[in-house]
Amino acid sequence: MNTTYFNSVNRYSCLYVVKPGDTLSKVILKFYNFRYGTDGYQRAMKQILADNPTIKDSNVIKISQTINLRAIDSKETSKPLVSAKEQENLELTMKTLSQPEQEIFSLLSVMEEYWGVGSTGTGVTFASMGILLGSQDKGNIALLKQVSEVYQSYKSGKLSKGQYDYRRKQLLEKAARNLGPTEKLLFKGKTAKEAMRITRAKGVRPTAALHGNTQRLSTISKVAARGGTVLTAVNVGMACHQIANAKTNAKKNEILVETAASAVVGVMGGAAISFFIVATPVGWVTALVLGVASSAISYVSGKAALRYYHADYGESDLVTLTGVNKFCS
Amino acid sequence: MQLILEMIVRYSFWGMFIFGGLLIVWIIIVGFPLIILTPQPVKDYWFLVGGTKVESDLATGWDFVALILRFSVVHSVAFPWLGKKRGLTKIREVCPTWFAHYCLLFSVVTSVLMVAGFISTFILIIDSYFLS
């Protein structure tokens, strides 16, 4: 297979999530660059159907379904890319996300792809963002959503102009207090008050800005809260898969050292955040800063451990010693 | 001197994995039962007095967000002085003695492993990126 076409769009480059409008022919063209009717197309189709027993009919694939993809005619591995449970979790998560949210999930995954197994601790950062924002039904996003509801009450005559202004001010001030210094970051350089205004332009829904901002922050939050856990679980699964398929023992050991270092430091970061949240009432901001820092340290420590391992323990077979070889076979 | 430095770095390499690994095991074996056993009055007190509605809503389930918040409740019981800014210094009044002792044991060991793990990690990072 031409790897140029088997691009690393995201962390799930080998676990493709079906989008609206996708067909297997389109997937084959996108990832393998084989057009319908060619020999390559037939081989790719045969392999995809063999690797994905859930696809009963090649003409029917469902949105958010995940498809295992691997190099054409490559040796079939005995162990799937991720476990059936992880695959099911990923599908469930994707189903609850809207199309734009799925796109953002994929974009976040690019970072994982770029950072590789060293980014196992990234989940903590996502978790911090999830804490910061809440969701449509709870937290700061729920507050922002109420601004639009208050406006609707005002328009329908249930609230006077004075009542509407007062309630809007209260809600936005509370949101601003909760978000702290990250307020401007999340509202693209504006304050919540400036961003959450009624749109006066002709031909545009008055609540367009309110709705747009609420939706955008909700997307970031959902992806962060769910994505952190899912990405970390899948990341560990991917590392196991990479160990199982690495050509040399040295490579297996490198993956193990980097992943293990990153994972343990990620957990230490999470533990540190739980202490900081107790210590400070503005835990949102602290948590976010610590989350990003933890993720970065987790990545750097993975690389540092790998460098040290190369220099001093290059000959040690940790994969066999720890039994990971058997576990990830 | 060089030999001592090399020895410290070697210990740090293994220390990071050992302390981090022990921390994971400790959290799974001791921490998870602890957050399951957290009495309802303690949770109510934490979120009503020191927390917010947002935190209360988010502290359910087993994802990272929920776990971080649920362990925060445990640390507050272990070290009430730590929650001074949140007004949680009297949190032990609403929890049984056995739970307070359990939390203290958990949080002390967690802090020790975490600090030792971070020290090892930073020594390794400094050696890898600045000294080697």
pLDDT (tens digit, 9 = 90+) per residue, A98-107? 665 566 555 5
Q: Could you tell me if A216 lies within 8 Å of chain B, comparing CB atoms?
A: no
Name chain B contacts of A271, Cβ cutoff 8 Å.
Answer: 23, 27, 71, 110, 114
User: Torsion angle, CA of A81/A83/A89/A91, rounded to 10 degrees?
Assistant: 40
Interface of A with B in 74-103 (CB under 8 A): none
pLDDT for position A255 = 81
Name chain A contacts of B121, Cβ cutoff 8 Å.
Answer: 265, 268, 297, 301, 304
Please tell me the distance in Å from A292's CA to the nearest CA on chain B. 14
Asked whether residue B52 carries a pLDDT value surpassing 90, the answer given is no
Asked whether residue A110 carries a pLDDT value surpassing 80, the answer given is no
Name chain B contacts of A303, Cβ cutoff 8 Å.
Answer: 128
| One-letter amino acid of B105 | L
Residue A238 CA, distance from chain mean position? 15
B71·A274 Cβ contact <8 A: yes
Interface of B with A in 5-34 (CB under 8 A): 9-10, 13, 16-17, 19-21, 23-24, 27
* DSSP line for A61-87: --TT-EEE---TTPPPPSS-SS-HHHH
Domain end among A76, A92, A116: A76
Which residue has tokens 């390794």? B124
Q: How many Å apart are CA B20 and CA B110, to the nearest integer?
A: 10
Q: How many Å apart are CA B106 and CA A132, to the nearest integer?
A: 27
**Domain assignment present for B2:** no
pLDDT for position B120 = 93
Average pLDDT, chain A: 70
**Domain assignment present for B31:** yes
Please tell me the distance in Å from A225's CA to the nearest CA on chain B. 7
Model confidence, pTM: 0.58
Name chain B contacts of A127, Cβ cutoff 8 Å.
Answer: 63-65, 68
pLDDT for position B58 = 65
Which range of residues forms the domain containing residue A28? 1-76
pLDDT for position A308 = 84
- Complex ipTM: 0.90
Query: Nearest CB to B72: which of A124, A274, A309?
Result: A274
Q: Could you tell me if A225 lies within 8 Å of chain B, comparing CB atoms?
A: yes
State the DSSP code for B93.
Answer: G
**Domain assignment present for B106:** yes
Q: How many Å apart are CA A273 and CA A285, to the nearest integer?
A: 11
Residues of chain B with pLDDT > 70: what percent? Answer: 92
**DSSP-derived 3-state class of residue B29:** helix
Q: How many Å apart are CA A61 and CA A66, to the nearest integer?
A: 9
pLDDT for position B105 = 95
Domain count, chain B: 1
**Domain assignment present for B11:** no
Please tell me the distance in Å from B119's CA to the nearest CA on chain A. 11
A139·B64 Cβ contact <8 A: no
Asked whether residue A309 carries a pLDDT value surpassing 70, the answer given is yes
Q: Could you tell me if A261 lies within 8 Å of chain B, comparing CB atoms?
A: yes
Size of interface A-B (CB pairs under 8 A): 141
| Mean pLDDT across B85-111 | 91
Structure tokens at B23: 């921390």
Please tell me the distance in Å from B37's CA to the nearest CA on chain A. 18
Which residue has tokens 């060089």? B2
Question: Regarding predicted confidence, which is higher, B17 or A204?
Answer: B17
Structure tokens at A231: 């990405």
Q: Which of A37-41, A158-162, A285-289, B75-79 has the lowest mean pLDDT?
A: A285-289
| Mean pLDDT across B33-52 | 85
**Domain assignment present for B28:** yes
Q: Could you tell me if B63 lies within 8 Å of chain A, comparing CB atoms?
A: yes
Structure tokens at A261: 């270092």
Please tell me the distance in Å from A119's CA to the nearest CA on chain B. 15
Kindly tell me the number of DSSP H helices and DSSP E strands found in chain A: 14, 2
pLDDT for position B53 = 62
**Domain assignment present for B8:** no
Query: Nearest CB to B16: which of A140, A229, A264?
Result: A264
Q: At A188, give phi and psi (nearest 5°).
A: 50, 50
pLDDT for position A80 = 55
Q: Which of A48-62, A255-269, A277-291, B40-54 has the lowest mean pLDDT?
A: A277-291
Residue A88 CA, distance from chain mean position? 15
Q: How many Å apart are CA A304 and CA B123, to the nearest integer?
A: 10
With CA atoms as reference, the chain B residue closest to A299 would be B125
**Domain assignment present for A200:** yes
Domain count, chain A: 2
B83·A279 Cβ contact <8 A: yes
**Domain assignment present for B4:** no
Query: Nearest CB to A264: which of B20, B58, B111?
Result: B20
Q: Could you tell me if A145 lies within 8 Å of chain B, comparing CB atoms?
A: no
CA distances from A310 to A118, A214, A257, A271, B94 (A): 16, 48, 10, 29, 53
B20·A305 Cβ contact <8 A: no
Q: Which tens digits make up the pLDDT trace of A124-178?
A: 555 555 555 555 555 666 777 777 788 888 888 888 888 888 888 888 887 777 6
Q: Could you tell me if A275 lies within 8 Å of chain B, comparing CB atoms?
A: yes
Q: How many Å apart are CA B110 and CA B79, to the nearest integer?
A: 12
Asked whether residue A4 carries a pLDDT value surpassing 60, the answer given is no
Q: Name which of A234, A321, A244 is nearest A76 in CA terms.
A: A244
Q: Which residues contact A94 (CB under 8 A, 6 or more apart)?
A: A17, A64, A66, A102, A105
From first CA to last CA, the distance across chain B in angstroms is: 15
With CA atoms as reference, the chain B residue closest to A232 would be B64
According to the per-residue pLDDT averaged within each range, which of A207-211, B29-33, B58-62 is highest? Answer: B29-33
Q: Residue A30: which CATH number?
A: 3.10.350
| One-letter amino acid of B112 | V
Which range of residues forms the domain containing residue B74? 18-131
Please tell me the distance in Å from A45's CA to the nearest CA on chain B. 37
Average pLDDT, chain B: 86
Question: Regarding predicted confidence, which is higher, A24 or A245?
Answer: A24
Q: Which helix (H) or strand (E) holds A185?
A: helix A183-186
**Domain assignment present for B7:** no
CB burial of residue A248 (10 Å; 0-12, 13-18, 19+): exposed
Asked whether residue A278 carries a pLDDT value surpassing 90, the answer given is no
